[in-house]
Amino acid sequence: MIFDINVIIEKLPEILSGLGVTIALWIAGTIGSVILGFLVATARKYGGRPVNLALGVVVEILRGTPFLIQIFLLYYGGPFIGLALDPLPCGLLGLLVYGAAYYSEIFRAGFAAVPAGHIEAAECLGLTRVQIIRRILLPEMALLVLPPSVNMSVILMKETAILSIITVPELTLTVSAIGSQQYAFLESIFLLAIIYWVLVEITGRLGRLAETRLSRLRFSPT
């Protein structure tokens, strides 16, 4: 076997297109997951026992089943309940829901880490629940939830590769197709590994930078 870099160079526009889809899905899925996960965690904390139990069951099911199975059920089983989606929106929805289950647990742990006395003091001052969340919970738990949130973002980025099974034109599907067409399996696998590694490194470094700056802001003398 000969490693032919020309195969990659010739198909670079297609590869960049697939990379763009992967990054777009990853960013949109992560942002949506963070928002939905925060809403679920907030609802479980303040929605009462029935809401907490119902959402807890859904979260455990999502966290207890592989993403591969979930995306299969959503794409192929969705039409049976009137939810027929094209590959791209189906992949984004699946990524969002899957990530939200994990982010909700991250935020729930962050809520629990805030001292109860701080919440009680805020309630004594007459702050509403929204004000308590915005002024007390979010600032105090931000530094605590940042590292696991970055790790979860990395996981979601790598999970985008699974979307190739429902023909989402992301990086893995694009590069795998090129490898099959050109019989360049070694080149395609090597390229995928390098690109995902670079994305993980960039995300990790940005996360550490954000953590450092947030720490300085939180513990500054002002």
Average pLDDT for the chain = 88
Token pair, residue 76, equals 């192929």
What confidence score (pLDDT) does residue 217 get?
Answer: 62
What confidence score (pLDDT) does residue 121 get?
Answer: 83
Can you tell me the distance from the alpha carbon of 213 to that of 147, in angstroms, rounded to the nearest whole number? Answer: 13
Q: What's the pLDDT band for 220 if we cut at 50, 70, 90?
A: low
Residue with the bigger pLDDT between 3 and 169: it is 169
What confidence score (pLDDT) does residue 102 get?
Answer: 96
Question: Domain residues of the chain, as ranges?
Answer: 5-218
5-218 carries CATH number 1.10.3720.10 = yes
Q: Is a pLDDT exceeding 70 seen at residue 8?
A: yes
The upper half-sphere exposure of residue 134, i.e. CA atoms within 13 Å in the direction of its Cβ, equals 5
Number of neighbouring beta carbons within 10 Å of residue 48: 10
User: Measuring CA to CA, which residue among 79, 86, 214, 90 is closest to residue 149?
Assistant: 214
Q: Is a pLDDT exceeding 60 seen at residue 23?
A: yes
pLDDT tens per residue, range 125-160: 888 878 887 777 777 787 788 889 999 999 999 999
pLDDT tens per residue, range 174-194: 998 888 888 878 888 888 899
Q: What's the pLDDT band for 107 if we cut at 50, 70, 90?
A: very high
Q: Is a pLDDT exceeding 80 seen at residue 221?
A: no
Q: Which residues contact 84 (CB under 8 A, 6 or more apart)?
A: 78
User: Measuring CA to CA, which residue among 59, 38, 68, 54 is closest to residue 160?
Assistant: 68
Is the Cβ–Cβ distance between 71 and 59 less than 8 Å? no
Q: What's the pLDDT band for 162 if we cut at 50, 70, 90?
A: very high
81 DSSP 8-state letter: G
Cα→Cα distances 195→16, 57, 119, 128, 166, Å? 11, 36, 45, 46, 21
pLDDT tens per residue, range 56-71: 999 999 999 999 999 9
Q: What's the pLDDT band for 2 if we cut at 50, 70, 90?
A: low
Is the Cβ–Cβ distance between 148 and 106 less than 8 Å? yes
133 DSSP 8-state letter: I
Can you tell me the distance from the alpha carbon of 156 to that of 153, in angstroms, rounded to the nearest whole number? Answer: 5
Is the Cβ–Cβ distance between 169 and 149 less than 8 Å? no
Amino acid at 150: V
Find the helix or strand (DSSP H, E) in which 137 lies.
none
Q: Is a pLDDT exceeding 60 seen at residue 1?
A: no
Token pair, residue 147, equals 């590292």
* Most trustworthy range by pLDDT among 9-13, 93-97, 126-130, 145-149: 93-97
